[in-house]
Structure 1
Amino acid sequence: MPVAVLVSGSGTTLQNLLNEQRHETLPIEIRFVLSSRPDAFALERARRAGIRTAVLDPRRHAGPADYGRAIIDTLAPCGPRLILMAGFLPLWHIPPDWLGRVLNIHPSLLPAFGGKGMYGDRVHRAVLRYGCRVTGCTVHMADNIYDHGPVLVQRVVWVLDGDRVETLRARVFREECIAYPQAIRLLAEGRVVMDGRRARLVPPAHARSQPAAPACEPPPR
């Protein structure tokens, strides 16, 4: 399945996906990596892997709807079937024909500790301050509200006495490295059926197969 990845930072989630692709443990072909920031190290990870990249600064667009159109227009020549948000921070409006084909991963058990401004270590710090006994990660279908779309996969992490942001982050990320590939496989195998905002999983025997995708086209001049 051809995919595009949206990034804003160091690209640890992107690297996990690249590793899965290299070892052929995930049925994806990462064709494009788009960043909201020119200094994101994720861009270097993509270039080392021979993947096309681009930068789209949200400040150069009129708002989330305009930014969303620019994102889709930039990715379109490579024909992705799925867009994976991997630490992508700006809000963008997903066109109606792309709803259900954009995934996001968040380092908490949504809807707890989600929303605007809640990302990365801010989430883990808030979990520790609140005194939670469990946290985790969530993979969900993205919509036009921060951390709001239907949940596909969640994995739980115990918060231990003496945990710091660094130790909690490391354990949550280990679960993220399992959860995101799991969610992608479910979609690639056609095993997700929506019932309102609830994602129901069907057995593999009833899954819809995915047709072959054309090769990546050159960008328009």
Structure 2
Amino acid sequence: MIKIAILASHNGSNLEPIYEAIQANRLDASISLVISNNTDANVLKKAQKLALQSHLINAKTVSDPDQSIYDLCLENEIDMIVLSGYMKKLSSSLTRGFKIINSHPSLLPKYGGSGMYGRFVHEAVIANNETKSGVSIHFVNEAYDEGEIILQKEILLTENETPSSLETRIKELEKQAIVEALETCLR
């Protein structure tokens, strides 16, 4: 069984689908840690409700957040880190020390990189008259959204697509994709 840490800055929308897949025995894993850099992050409330160990780690709570995350993951024998809307760039010690995967709301390499997250991605996709979009689950390295792609799922844009409607559809797709990517990684 692998031990997973989830890092999220806000909602951590991948927490529930991963948790549910573990409960349904789809994933031979456990969520051992939930870490957020945001005091008001909803993911911390979700973790508490699910009785998962959670931590707030940011520049106000420790002098070196990445080192604290690294140490905590090492101490808890974490095998894999899953980023779920974690809005901080990770240090090379973390990216080299752990297998880390991320979910990105576009078909990488399109619409990736610094500043391309959430609604910004969906607005760019629509502004460029794309006919399809999707989600990419990829390994994390030192560069934003440039790690090896594990899998991609795509959807066609509708005629009257808005950034909001696209975001909703991509979030649903992401819930399936993250579990499938973890199944792939665990094989």
Q: Specify the alignment match of 1:17 in structure 2.
A: 18
* Contact residue 5 and residue 86 of structure 1 kept, 8 A: yes
* Contact residue 93 and residue 143 of structure 1 kept, 8 A: no
Displacement of 1:89: 0.8
Greater CA drift, 18-27 or 75-84: 18-27
CA distance in 1, matches of 2:147, 2:136: 11
Q: Scaled by the length of structure 1, what TM-score is found?
A: 0.78
What is the identity percentage for the equivalent residue pairs of Structure 1 and Structure 2?
Answer: 25
Structure of higher RCO (CA pairs closer than 8 Å, 6+ residues apart): 2
* Contact residue 58 and residue 90 of structure 1 kept, 8 A: no
Displacement of 1:163: 0.8
Q: Specify the alignment match of 1:109 in structure 2.
A: 107
Aligned ranges 1:30-49 → 2 under 5 Å = 30-49=31-50
Q: Specify the alignment match of 2:73 in structure 1.
A: 75
RMSD: 1.7
Decide which structure has the larger Cα Rg and report it.
1
Structure 2 segments unaligned to the other structure (5+ residues):
none
Q: Scaled by the length of structure 2, what TM-score is found?
A: 0.91
For 1:71-122, what per-residue CA distance to the aligned partner results, in whole angstroms no more than 9, with x for missing partners? 11122222111111111010011326425x1101100011111111211111
Displacement of 1:147: 1.0
Q: Which amino acid aligns with 1:37?
A: N
SS in 2 for 1:176: helix
Displacement of 1:70: 2.2
Q: Specify the alignment match of 1:136 in structure 2.
A: 134
Flag the 1:123–1:58 CA change in 2: closer, same or farther, 3 A.
farther
SS in 1 for 2:135: strand
Q: Aligned residues, how many?
A: 185
Q: 1:84 aligns with which of 82, 85, 91?
A: 82
CA distance in 2, matches of 1:88, 1:110: 18
